[in-house]
Amino acid sequence: MSLPEHGQCRVVIERVTPEIDAGRFAIKRIVGDVVTVEADVFADGHDELSVEIDYRPVVATVWQSTRMTPLSNDRWAGRFRVEHLGEYRYTVRAWIDRFRSWRRDLIKRLDAGQDVQVDAQTGAKLIALAEDRASGADREMLADWQQRVLSGANDERRQAATDVGLLQLMDRWSEPSFPTRYERELRITVDRERARFSAWYELFPRSAAKEPGRHGTLKDVTERLPEIAAMEFDVVYLPPIHPIGRVHRKGRNNAVAAATDEVGCPWAIGAMEGGHKSILPELGTFADFENLVSQARSHQLEIALDIAFQCAPDHPYVAEHPEWFRKRPDGTVQYAENPPKKYQDIYPFDFECADWPALWTELKSIFEFWIDRGVRTFRVDNPHTKPFPFWEWCLGDLKRQHPDLIFLAEAFTRPKVMYRLAKLGFTQSYTYFAWRQSARDLTEYCTELTQTAVAEYFQPNFWPNTPDILTAELQTGGRPAFVRRLILAATLSSSYGVYGPPFEHLWSVAREPDSEEYLDSEKFEIQHHDWQRPDSLQTLIAMVNRIRREHPALQTNGGLRFHPVDNERLLCFSKSSVAGDQRVLIVVNLDNEITQAGFVNLPLQEWGLDATRPFAVHDRLTDARYEWRGPRNYVELHPHPWPAHILEVRPGMG
C-alpha cells in the first residue's frame, strides 16, 4: 500500500452544511443574503485549529475567506454574504494553528510559574515567519512583537499571548501549516429578490376586453395594468399567447369537437400562423407585446410568459420535424394522454428521438426568443413530463447567460420529482397548498418546506386556485373560504399567486360533481369580467399585498413557526424577519360557517418579551389593537368579514 498523498494534513472536515446531495446541486440564496456554513472539524492531539470558509463568485478567480468559530463538540460555524447574481462556490479549509497553540500553552505555563524561555523562542520564530510575509505597517508591528516576545519580560510575553491585535496580525500573515481542504467545492445559485418574494396575478388576455363579446388583446391587458398594480401585485402571468391549433380543437367545457367559432385552448400551441415564437393575431403584434412589457415595468410589474413544450397537430414543427414526435402503430402521431384523459389537440415531443440534440437546442431557443423581447420570468407547464437532464442543461445554460431569470415550475406531481426539478434549476414551484386545509396538514406541510433541508433549494409559490384547480373548499365555502385561502397563501409563503378575475369574483361553480374544473372555463372560451363588481375581493387583496410589502417578516419563509392553540379549527403561526427585529402573528379561523375561539400559546421568552408585562398586538386587517399579557391569550374569529388576524407584535403598549 502506497503512502497517502497528503500525509501531513492532520485535520478532518466532515458534515459540512448546507450541502445538497454531496454537493451535486446548489443551494439557493438571494442577493444580499448571509450564508451560514457549519462543519465538524477536528484533528488528532490537542493543537488549536484555524478554520475558514473560502468563497467566491464563479466568475472570479480569487477566493475570499472568512474565519469560522467553534460551537461545541468540534462543530464550527461561519458566515459570508453573497453580493452578486449568479453562481458562487464555497468550501471549508482548516489547519493546525501553531501560533494559537503556542499562545494557549504559554499562558498555562506562565500561570504555573514555569520557565518559558524556550517557549518564547518558539513564539518569536512564528512571529518572524509571519513578518517575512507581511508588508507595510503590519510588518513593523510584527517585528516589534517578535522582539518583545524574545527579549521582554514575562509580562510582555503574556501580553503577546493575549493581545487581540497580534492575533489578528498573525491570522492575516501566517502561512497555514499543511491545510486540509474539504473534498468538495459547493455551489450557491444567487437570485434576485423577486425569486423569494413575489405576488403573481394570472389572467387570460383574450378575456381582458372591457366590453362583452369581443376578443381581448394585449392592448387590453396593458390597460388593465394600473388596476393590477393598485392591488400591489409584482408579476402578471399570461397563459400561452401563441397561435392556437385548429385540428382537433377542443370546444367549450373541454368538448372533443369545437364549433367553427370557438377559440380553442391556448395550451394547444401552433397553427398556420406560427408556433412558440409567434403571437396569436387576435391578441395583437410584437409591438403590442413589447409595449406591454415596457408599460408593466413602469408600474413596477413584470410580465411572466407560459412556456409549454407541446404542439397542436397543425404546429409548423409537426410538418417540419416529424422526427421529433412519437408515432402510433398506425403511423399517426401519438397525442397526449393521462388515462383516462385524452388530449387529442396536443402532441408531446419525443425527447428520446434520434434527433434529440436538435430538439433540445430548438426548445431552448424558445426561451431565448422571448428573453430577447424583455421577458425575465417564465411559468413552465408540466416540466415533470420532460427529462431531468434537459432541464439541467437548458436552465443552467440560460441562467449562466441571464442570472436574473426566474422559472416557476407547474409540477403537481410526487414530492421527490418536484424537489428534483428545483435542484435542477427551477426557481419556484407550485405546491400542494391548495389541498392542505386542516391545521395539522398545513402545519406538517409548511414545516417540511421551510424547516428542513428542502428549504435550501425549494422555493414554494402558494396558489389557492388555478385554471385547472377549483378545490371543493372554494366550491362550497363561499366568501370566507376565498378570504381565508388568500390570507393563508399570502402569509404562509413569501411567494403566492391567484388566478386573478375568477378568484377576485368568487367563481365557485365546477363543471360537474367531484370535479375541480371550472364550468365554462376560460381554458376553452372567452369570458367577460366585470372588474367593477361590488362583491370583488380587489380591496382585500390590495390590503393583504400592502401588508406583505410593509413587513419584512412576511417576505421570507425561514422565520415561519407554528404555535399551539386549543382549538383544531384555529391555525396560529408567526413569521419573523431575517434580522429578528420584527414579528407578525397570524391566527386563522378554518371554519366557513361557525365562529371559532380558543387560547393561543406564544414563546414570549424566545421573542424577548417579559411574560409579566403587557404587550400590544395590532391587527393590520381591521386596525384593532389589543393588550395581551403572558404566553396564553384568547382569540375569537368570525367567518365574516375577517376570518383571520394579521397581528403586529410590539413590546409594551403603544
Catalytic site residue from 191, 302, 381, 504? 381
Cell numbers for 62, please give them.
480569487
- Residue from 191, 302, 410, 591 carrying the catalytic annotation: 410
Q: Which residues contact 277 (CB under 8 A, 6 or more apart)?
A: 366, 369
Question: Chain centroid to CA 650: how far?
Answer: 28
Nearest to 555 by CA among 576, 534, 540: 576
AA identity, residue 653: M
Neighbouring residues of 377: CB distance < 8 A, sequence distance ≥ 6: 194, 235, 237, 302, 303, 304, 305, 405, 406, 407, 408
Q: Angle, nearest 10°, between helix axes 154-162 and 98-111?
A: 140
Tell me the residue length of the chain: 654
504 Cβ partners below 8 Å, 6+ apart?
498, 533, 536, 537, 538, 541
CA distance 230 to 80: 38
The label of the residue with cell 428573453 reads 371
CA angle (44 as vertex; 39, 49 as ends), nearest 5 = 50
CA atoms in the 13 A half-sphere facing the CB of 193: 6
Active-site residue 381, yes or no?
Answer: yes
* 410 part of the active site: yes
Environment class of residue 15 by beta-carbon count within 10 Å: exposed (0-12), middle (13-18) or buried (19+)?
Answer: exposed
Buried residues in 285-309 as b, exposed as e (16+ CB within 10 A) = eeebbeebbebbeebebbbbbbbbb
Gap between the Cα atoms of 423 and 438, Å rounded = 29
d(CA 451, CA 340): 38
Q: Which residues form the catalytic set?
A: 381, 410
